[in-house]
Amino acid sequence: MHIARIAAAPGFLSLYFNKTSLLLCRTSSSRGIFSSPSLPMASQDGDSDPGSTVSVGLEPFCFRQFDDPKYPGTRIPLDKDSFMKKVSSRQDRYTGYLARRPEELPVLSRWLPASLVQHQLVRAKYLDLILYSREQIAKENAAMSKNEEVIDTSQPEWFIVAIKAQNEPFELPMNPITIMRNALIEEGGSGVSVNREAYGRSVEYWSKHVVVQDDNE
């Protein structure tokens, strides 16, 4: 579930889940609050803030959507307690701090569980193979281990370090956080400085796309 402030309307939150949009009004009044689950809060521009929560209650003005069979607006086919428990359970679980391997620093990542978009998933048309030279591998290993760089010429000239499934016949932009991490070779990056133009293309692409991950990962 995504929680965000309605633009130019302080005091309102919009909650979205399963294609249902609900509009709740926060109030300082204590009258008739039905229950108060804690939910992740969003910043003013709508970006999630994993470190902040907001309590949400059911205002009596909303009771008619549960209790009044003649109410002409949206009717909720649940009792109020069940509804609030469902709201509480639909917290934003799709961001987290992840590391690709134990020796790297975890970074904030976002994804969608495969079960939510199963009907939209298709078999990828292409596999994009990411290769590093043995010299680059030796350079990164030395930086991570704080040891001297050693190039073993008996090893293959190139190593596959990642395999990306995609539908486009061209190289997709790296995720912005990957570009940032690549500048930090001691933290698992490639040692390539941030290119602002490439970073801008990455932001443009990943603002419209998201990784899909198996639910049990």
pLDDT tens readout for residues 39-54: 444 333 444 444 445 5
Relative to beta strand 38-42, strand 48-55 is: antiparallel
Positive or negative, the Cα torsion across 78, 84, 89, 92? positive
The single residue listed with the structure tokens 């961001």 is: 95
User: Which has the closest alpha carbon to 162: 175, 143, 149, 146?
Assistant: 175
Enter the pTM of the model.
0.53
d(CA 185, CA 162): 17
User: Which has the closest alpha carbon to 2: 24, 20, 17, 12?
Assistant: 17
Contact 192, 182 (CB under 8 A): yes
Domain boundaries, the chain: 2-92, 96-213
Question: What is the side-by-side strand order in the sheet with 107-113?
Answer: 95-98, 107-113, 211-213
pLDDT tens readout for residues 64-117: 999 999 988 888 888 998 888 877 665 556 778 888 888 778 888 888 888 888
d(CA 105, CA 99): 6
Q: Is the pLDDT of residue 207 over 50?
A: yes
Mean pLDDT in residue range 179-197: 81
- Backbone φ and ψ for 195, nearest 5 degrees, come out as -100, 115
